[in-house]
Amino acid sequence: MFDESGKFRDEFAALAPTGHRRMGMNPHANGGELLVPLAMPHFHDYAVRVSAPGSVEAESTRVLGVFLRDVMKLNLANQNFRLFGPDETASNRLDAVYEASGKEWMARLEDVDINLSINGRVMEVLSEHLCEGWLEGYLLTGRHGLFSCYEAFVHIIDSMFNQHAKWLKTCKTIPWRKPIASLNYLLTSHVWRQDHNGFSHQDPGFIDHVASKKSDVVRIYLPPDANCLLSVADHCLRSRNYVNLIIAGKQPEWQWLDIDSAVRHCTVGAGIWQWASNDAYDPDVVMACAGDVPTLETLAAVTLLREYIPDIRIRVVNVVDLMALQPQTEHPHGLEDQDFDALFTRDKPVIFAFHGYPRVIHWLTYRRHNHDNFHVRGYREEGTTTTPFDMVVLNNLDRYQLALDAISRIPRLRQEKQTATDRYWSTMERHKLYVSEHGEDMPEVQNWRWTS
Amino acid sequence: MFDESGKFRDEFAALAPTGHRRMGMNPHANGGELLVPLAMPHFHDYAVRVSAPGSVEAESTRVLGVFLRDVMKLNLANQNFRLFGPDETASNRLDAVYEASGKEWMARLEDVDINLSINGRVMEVLSEHLCEGWLEGYLLTGRHGLFSCYEAFVHIIDSMFNQHAKWLKTCKTIPWRKPIASLNYLLTSHVWRQDHNGFSHQDPGFIDHVASKKSDVVRIYLPPDANCLLSVADHCLRSRNYVNLIIAGKQPEWQWLDIDSAVRHCTVGAGIWQWASNDAYDPDVVMACAGDVPTLETLAAVTLLREYIPDIRIRVVNVVDLMALQPQTEHPHGLEDQDFDALFTRDKPVIFAFHGYPRVIHWLTYRRHNHDNFHVRGYREEGTTTTPFDMVVLNNLDRYQLALDAISRIPRLRQEKQTATDRYWSTMERHKLYVSEHGEDMPEVQNWRWTS
The residue in chain B having the minimum alpha-carbon distance to the alpha carbon of residue A152 is B159
Distance CA B100, CA B82 (A): 11
- Among the listed residues B391, B99, B125, B380, the one whose alpha carbon sits nearest the alpha carbon of residue B251: B391
User: What pLDDT does A309 receive?
Assistant: 96
Distance CA A95, CA A102 (A): 10
The residue in chain B having the minimum alpha-carbon distance to the alpha carbon of residue A199 is B166
User: What pLDDT does A381 receive?
Assistant: 92
Q: What DSSP string runs through A144-200? A: EEEEEEEGGGGGGGHHHHHHHHHHHHHHTT-TTSPP-B-EEEEEES-TT--SSS-GG
User: What pLDDT does A230 receive?
Assistant: 98
* pTM given for the model: 0.94
Mutation target vs A (from B366, B367, B369, B376; most A CBs, 10 A cutoff): B366
In chain B, which stretches have pLDDT less than 50? none
SS3 A57: strand
What's the pLDDT tens digit per position in A252-303?
999 999 999 999 999 999 999 999 999 878 999 999 999 999 999 999 999 9
Distance CA A255, CA B263 (A): 58
Distance CA B436, CA B225 (A): 30
User: Exposed, middle or buried: residue B83 (CB in 10 Å: 0-12, 13-18, 19+)?
Assistant: buried
A329 vs A37, more confident? A37
Q: What is the ipTM of this complex?
A: 0.93
A354 touches chain B (CB under 8 A): no
Measure in Å the smallest separation between the Cα of A153 and chain B Cα atoms: 7
- Among the listed residues B121, B55, B51, the one whose alpha carbon sits nearest the alpha carbon of residue B84: B121
Contacts of B199 in chain A (CB under 8 A): 166, 170
User: What pLDDT does A439 receive?
Assistant: 94
Residue type, B203: D
The residue in chain B having the minimum alpha-carbon distance to the alpha carbon of residue A358 is B363
Strands A81-85 and A144-150: parallel
A371 touches chain B (CB under 8 A): yes
Does A357 contact B212 at a Cβ distance shorter than 8 Å?
Answer: yes
Distance CA B284, CA B277 (A): 11
Distance CA A19, CA A427 (A): 76
Per-residue pLDDT, averaged over A80-101, amounts to: 95
CB B270 within 8 A of CB B318: yes
Q: What DSSP string runs through A224-287? A: SSHHHHHHHHHHHHH-BS-EEEEE---SEEE----HHHHHHHHHHSEEE-GGG---TT--SEEE
Strands (E) located in A368-450: 374-377
State yes or no: pLDDT of A196 exceeds 90: no
Q: Phi/psi zone of residue B331: left (φ > 0), alpha (ψ -120 to 50 degrees), beta? A: beta
Q: Which of residues 288-347 of B touch A (CB under 8 A)?
A: none
B216 touches chain A (CB under 8 A): no
User: What pLDDT does B33 receive?
Assistant: 94
Question: Which of A166, A209, A381 lies closest to B209 in CB terms?
Answer: A209
SS3 B353: strand
SS3 B121: coil
Does A200 contact B166 at a Cβ distance shorter than 8 Å?
Answer: yes
Contacts of A200 in chain B (CB under 8 A): 163, 166
The residues, ordered by sequence, that sit 6+ positions from B369 with a Cβ below 8 Å of its Cβ are B337, B340, B341, B346
CB A296 within 8 A of CB A251: no
Per-residue pLDDT, averaged over A79-83, amounts to: 98
State yes or no: pLDDT of A452 exceeds 90: no
Contacts of B205 in chain A (CB under 8 A): 162, 209, 212
Does A208 contact B212 at a Cβ distance shorter than 8 Å?
Answer: yes
The residue in chain A having the minimum alpha-carbon distance to the alpha carbon of residue B359 is A363
Q: Return mean pLDDT, chain A.
A: 96
Query: What is the Rg, in whole angstroms, of the alpha carbon atoms belonging to chain B?
Result: 25
The residues, ordered by sequence, that sit 6+ positions from B301 with a Cβ below 8 Å of its Cβ are B287, B351, B353, B399, B400, B402, B403, B406
User: Sorting pLDDT into bands at 50, 70 and 90, what band is A447?
Assistant: very high
Strands (E) located in A325-440: 350-354, 374-377
DSSP conformation class of B434: H
Does B199 contact A170 at a Cβ distance shorter than 8 Å?
Answer: yes
Distance CA A359, CA A380 (A): 10
The residues, ordered by sequence, that sit 6+ positions from B121 with a Cβ below 8 Å of its Cβ are B72, B76, B79, B81, B82, B83, B100, B101, B104
User: What pLDDT does A320 receive?
Assistant: 98
Tell me the CA distances in angstroms from B306 to B298, B310, B450, one per residue in order. Answer: 12, 5, 12
User: Exposed, middle or buried: residue A281 (CB in 10 Å: 0-12, 13-18, 19+)?
Assistant: exposed
The residues, ordered by sequence, that sit 6+ positions from A75 with a Cβ below 8 Å of its Cβ are A38, A39, A81, A144
Question: Which of B159, B213, B381 lies closest to A156 in CB terms?
Answer: B159
